[in-house]
A and B are shown apart, each in its own frame.
Chain A
Amino acid sequence: MASARLVNVVASKAFKSIQYSRLGFLSISQSNGSLKSFKPHCRRVHTTHLLSERLFTKDHEWISIENGIATFGITDYAQEKLGEVVFCELPEVGVECDKDDVVAVVESVKAASDIFAPVSGEVTSANEILSTSPGIINTSPEDEAWIAKIKMTNDSDKDGLLNESDYKKLIVSLE
């Protein structure tokens, strides 16, 4: 079957040169307290995301939680591994899901990859732009290409998620 978890997407030595630097990290200029904005490849960070720490799953999803709503998508590392995204199957709004249920599918030319719900809850919205322009997942995976929003039923679900530094370590260990 072509459907596969993102963690099983083929990795190889050729990838090693690009990932780590690409993910970058949030940088706040200490001297005047303003956000030092920069645009590393694919990663524009909005001010709102500063307020809620961004979290990650070992399946290469990013999650941003605010007021009990978790917005998620796939990471830059994931889109790089997948290759060109040609199709995205979004969850239906109103659907209840448990953490780790398959909630969406992202398809590249070669294979379909399951996306797992990072938290349990109800899907409150799905990013319709991805139906017509799935390629945004490649160009803006951690910003414009959010996949869906889930109203969390279990606040402690976020305890199992990785912080940015642990996720970066995970990626390094995979290379």
Chain B
Amino acid sequence: IKTSVLHDFHVKNNAKMVPFAGWTMPIQYKSLGIIDSHHHTRNKVSLFDVSHMLQFKVYGKDKESFIESMTVCDVKGLPENGGSLTVFTNAEGGIMDDAIINQTQQDYLYCVSNAGCSDKISTCLRENLIDFTAKGGEVVLELLDCGLLAVQGPKMAEVLQTGTDTDLSKLYFMQNVEANLFGVDCRITRCGYTGEDGVEISVAKNRAVELAENICSHEDVELAGLGARDSLRLEAGLCLYGNDIDEMTTPVEAGLTWCIGKRRRKEKNFPGAEKIVAQIKSKPSKRRSGLIVSSAIARNGAIVQDGNGNEIGSVTSGCPSPTLSANIAMAYLPLPLSKVGTEVNVLVRKRVVSAKVTKMPFVPANYFMNK
């Protein structure tokens, strides 16, 4: 079991630690329950340790082609300092992992993918690297061993601006910059997994605790763990790999067609391209949909039925939404039944509970967009 560079810091701050994706990470901190932590993130700002995620850099003149050979991303089209959410696909068009690929001003791509898939994606990168370089491609891959802190919430910019000369009002959603924050060199990417304005900060291990302590010293900042992280991302309509997307779901079914660059659809030069492009044209048979469930909490695995008791899908993620005071869930539903407003039923512990298809995100996002 792996421990984060911030492990002792978590324990010192009374974290409740749980195993997750081969790591021991905080689910919450004693001082604040999961629900209060969730509200605090939407109202003020929270600090999450996400150092368990896989971070890597890709160098070389063919770095964009290299990443494009495994993902649906239009890497070559990324603006300088800009990034995008994308997916790694398999030969059947299924999703191997979702990731954020960033173009930087430092002549490498900076990428972040999920902790749960780190072995799988590291292997995929290494194997593809061998093939790619054998064919003459110039690429160097560097798997990073450093900390990653997420600072999420409306007060993020106000808090972090006090510690840096970098003008955060010019760093827009999905942009990244090398900066010095509270005396610590780091890379700041304006993105996150909560739907709020926020950043993820990549920092050397030997400075991670110092940076976390500096950020936490601000009275508006509370530490938050995986418990709040999950309810926040679900309200934001964001997928959790392993629950909402996996090797058996295509990005089209998952509602992630927007991640597939137009040029990429034409060139069809990513794994599973034939199937995925065909599905874009002919429409997928099922689609990831949001549900508001009436009188019970529907969780992963709960069967969804139509009005006649026929099984039509199952819930992939669900939880009580602290912001909405309602039970929200995601499920894959047949396309005709995935229209907003459709009424379906969900089986929760053998009881039939009514639910309604709802637009996602359940809670509107507050990303810092360039108008």
Contact = CB atoms under 8 A, between A and B. Distances in A.
Interface of A: 1-3, 10, 12-15, 83-84, 86-87, 89, 105, 107, 109-112
Nearest to B320: A86
B300 interface: yes
Interface of B: 11, 14-19, 24, 27-28, 33-35, 227, 230-231, 296-297, 299-301, 319-320, 349
A86 B231 CA distance: 13
B24 A84 contact: no
Given A14-B11, A83-B27, A109-B231, 7 more contacts: A1-B300, A2-B299, A12-B24, A89-B349, A110-B34, A110-B319, A112-B297
26 contacts: A1-B299, A1-B300, A2-B299, A2-B301, A3-B349, A10-B19, A12-B16, A12-B17, A12-B18, A12-B24, A14-B11, A14-B17, A83-B16, A83-B27, A86-B297, A87-B297, A87-B320, A105-B349, A107-B297, A109-B35, A109-B227, A110-B27, A110-B227, A110-B230, A110-B319, A112-B349
SS of B interface (majority): mixed
Contacts of A89: 296, 349
A83 B28 contact: yes
A83 B24 contact: no
Contacts of A14: 11, 14-17
Most buried by B among A2, A87, A89: A2
A110 to B, nearest CB: 6
A9 to B, nearest CB: 10
Contact of B227 (A2, A83, A105): A83
A15 B320 CA distance: 25
A84 B27 contact: no
B271 to A, nearest CB: 32
A2 B300 contact: yes
